[in-house]
Amino acid sequence: MPRAIVLDATDNVATLLDPGSAGDACVLQGEASGEVTLLQDVPFGHKVCIAATAQSAQIVKYGEIIGRASQALQVGEHTHLHNVESARGRGDLGKR
């Protein structure tokens, strides 16, 4: 069973500590507990959405805004470059 870490209570994504496959129950550890069912395969070190997130909403990892959702995200969805617009290096997206 894959595991994912949540380091801040405001995070809406978790980082996988193990690779996971679609349909796996992924155990959340850290500042969140419980499980999410992975909707796609998610490689080690990648993010999974742990709270339904609207298009253009902020993506928060480790308590920091890392980008905005380029589409609506479901709980358990692989969250990466294909559905997140980066806030790094952009002063207009990094503000709460």
pLDDT at 83: 94
- Looking at the domain 3-86, which fold is it? 2.30.130
Domain ranges of the chain: 3-86
d(C-alpha 61, C-alpha 23), whole Å:
23
Q: Give 92's pLDDT tier (boundaries 50, 70, 90).
A: low
pLDDT at 58: 96
Question: Kind of pairing, strands 25-30 and 3-6?
Answer: parallel
CA 93, distance to chain mean position in Å, is 17
d(C-alpha 87, C-alpha 60), whole Å:
10
Task: Report pTM.
Answer: 0.88
d(C-alpha 72, C-alpha 30), whole Å:
25
pLDDT at 88: 67
Q: What is the pLDDT of residues 17-74, one digit of tens each?
A: 999 999 999 999 999 999 999 999 999 999 999 999 999 999 999 999 999 999 999 9
